Amino acid sequence: MSAEPTLTARREDGLDIPLLVWRLAEPLLAISSAPLGGGIGVRHWVVNATVPMSYRRDDPDAHLVELAAREGLDGPGVGLLTGVDVAEVVSAEESGIRAWATVGLGEPIWAAAPPAATAPGPGTVNIVVRLPVRLSPAALVNAVATATEAKAQALWELRLPATGTSTDAVSILCPAEGPEAAYAGPRSEWGAPLARAVNAAVRAGGGTGQGSGMPWSDRLR
């Protein structure tokens, strides 16, 4: 996986809308909650695409396939969407683990809040993590939990009464071959630096303009 994603843009509805693209040097094993390429499997690329807050497509997976095709990306990949400007991506690294986050906190929620009369608006914290070692299937699941706990801790440290937003997504990538690490909990060899990297990226993103929740489309007004 490249050290940093490439920032590009596509033309839609008369606007130049930003797009982050990770072009993988080799296919990686991934676990993801993204609208495209979710689940567990080998993936060839990752995209994180800004969309206007007026976005109403009910086929985000198909839209992300279209965006990937425009970038010449082949094979299965991971595709994420957000209302914030992906040019404001923040990254952090520890022990060879790299975490990237785009942090939109305009509509923060408690995960276990009582039912609401109206659905919360979009927010979206997108997290992408690359590990240098292969994780077992159980460790992949554990890594998602660890990253989510680290995100929630970051929001607490930012004094935000929330655990995230209703549309957050996380993607963990690691080598598809090699010996498997069996654990990725927050006190394991690989889970601990993963947690710290994610925490640092989300805290940094939440402390900037993107963390204020200002939608990308609002900046055009």
Predicted local confidence at residue 45, as pLDDT = 97
Q: Look at residue 119 in the predicted model and tell me its pLDDT.
A: 73
Say whether domain 6-220 belongs to CATH 3.60.70: yes
How far, in Å, CA of 91 to CA of 175, rounded?
A: 20
pLDDT value of position 64: 96
List, run by run, the mean pLDDT of 10-residue segments along the chain (221 residues). Answer: 80 87 96 98 97 83 95 97 94 97 94 84 89 98 98 97 95 98 98 98 82 48 40
Can you name the residues that pair with 129 across neighbouring β-strands? 99, 172
Work out the angle at residue 39's Cα, subtended by the Cα atoms of residues 35 and 42, and round it to the nearest 5 degrees. Answer: 105
Cβ neighbour number for residue 155 with a 10 Å cutoff:
23
Computed on alpha carbons and rounded to an integer, the radius of gyration of the chain in Å comes to: 16
Q: Which residues contact 196 (CB under 8 A, 6 or more apart)?
A: 92, 94, 150
pTM of the model: 0.92
Q: Are 50 and 63 in contact (CB under 8 A)?
A: no
Element (H, E) at 44: strand 39-50
- Residues 203 and 157 sit within 8 Å (Cβ to Cβ): yes
DSSP per-residue letters across 53-103:
TT---S-HHHHHHHHHHHTT--SS-EEEEESS-GGG-EEEEETTEEEEEEE
Q: State the amino acid at position 95 in one-letter form.
A: S
Residue 28 has phi, psi (to 5 degrees) of: -120, 150
Whole-number pLDDT of residue 121: 67
In sequence order, what are the residues at sequence separation of 6 or more whose Cβ sits closer than 8 angstroms to the Cβ of residue 129? Answer: 97, 98, 99, 100, 143, 147, 170, 171, 172, 173, 194, 197, 198
